[in-house]
Copies of this chain bind each other. A is one copy, B any other.
């Protein structure tokens, strides 16, 4: 094998793995799987895809060895093969948000049109935690909270927030978070809370980002 042949094969393999990521639905699936494992059913529902279609995209990811599966009862659960997969997605996401003005604008416009408020980054949250009264609120579905969440976070799924709001302390600031920067649950939560007189802000990133940084997490 000569030099050129070697390079062609290496870059060919790397392009193959990159191609397996290069599809909107598959990126959304990767982001979802950052929360933990999901059945094909659940993935199809969360991403608004026909089941056969979701299954095909999952095959692509499986062939690229980016996801693993395990069976439980009738269901097959998919999960990210390891943290490098999420790291690559995160790098692409950050590249996109920083490079493509359209994306930043989309996110900003969408949030401001419906809600109208600021957000705080993980770094900002850490500072707030050191110096003030902060309640961390996880508004993802309970199953995802149970698979892993920010240490000391309170779980109130977005669907139940209106009824259960009283469980939250009235004084101090509430930081709501969900799956990631493109997840809207936290935005909705902040809107509801602010309207009810709480001081609430959304966390820019999601649980997987927090976890990847080696910050304290809990499971149960």
A6 touches B110 (CB 8 A): yes
Q: Which residues 105-122 of A have a CB within 8 angstroms of B?
A: 106-107, 110, 113
Contacts of A8 in B (CB 8 A): 24
Determine if A219 is an interface residue (Cβ-Cβ < 8 Å).
no
Nearest neighbor of A188 in chain B, beta-carbon distance: B3
Q: Which of A15-23, A130-138, A162-170, A196-204 contacts B (4 or more CB under 8 A)?
A: A15-23
The complex is assembled from copies of this chain, and their number is: 2
Known: A7-B182, A15-B27; 10 extra A-B contacts, CB below 8 A, are A3-B184, A6-B106, A6-B182, A10-B106, A11-B27, A13-B96, A13-B102, A13-B106, A15-B24, A66-B95
B9 touches A106 (CB 8 A): yes
Q: Which residues 1-55 of A have a CB within 8 angstroms of B?
A: 1, 3-4, 6-19, 21-28, 48
Partner of A18, one of B18, B25, B106, B182: B18
B12 touches A24 (CB 8 A): yes
Contacts of A110 in B (CB 8 A): 1, 6
Tell me, rounded to whole Å, the shortest Cβ–Cβ distance linking A178 to chain B: 12
Determine if A59 is an interface residue (Cβ-Cβ < 8 Å).
no
Tell me, rounded to whole Å, the shortest Cβ–Cβ distance linking A213 to chain B: 15
Contacts of A21 in B (CB 8 A): 18, 22
Q: State the A residues within 8 Å of B (CB).
A: 1, 3-4, 6-19, 21-28, 48, 64-66, 81-82, 84-85, 87-88, 90-96, 98-100, 102-103, 106-107, 110, 113, 182, 184
B6 touches A184 (CB 8 A): yes
Given the complex of chains A and B, what is the CA–CA distance between A22 and B16 in angstroms? 7
Task: Given A13-B103, A182-B7, A182-B10, answer yes or no on A92-B98 (Cβ-Cβ < 8 Å).
Answer: no
Tell me, rounded to whole Å, the shortest Cβ–Cβ distance linking A45 to chain B: 12
Nearest neighbor of A21 in chain B, beta-carbon distance: B18
Task: Given A1-B110, A7-B28, answer yes or no on A17-B96 (Cβ-Cβ < 8 Å).
Answer: yes
A95 touches B85 (CB 8 A): yes
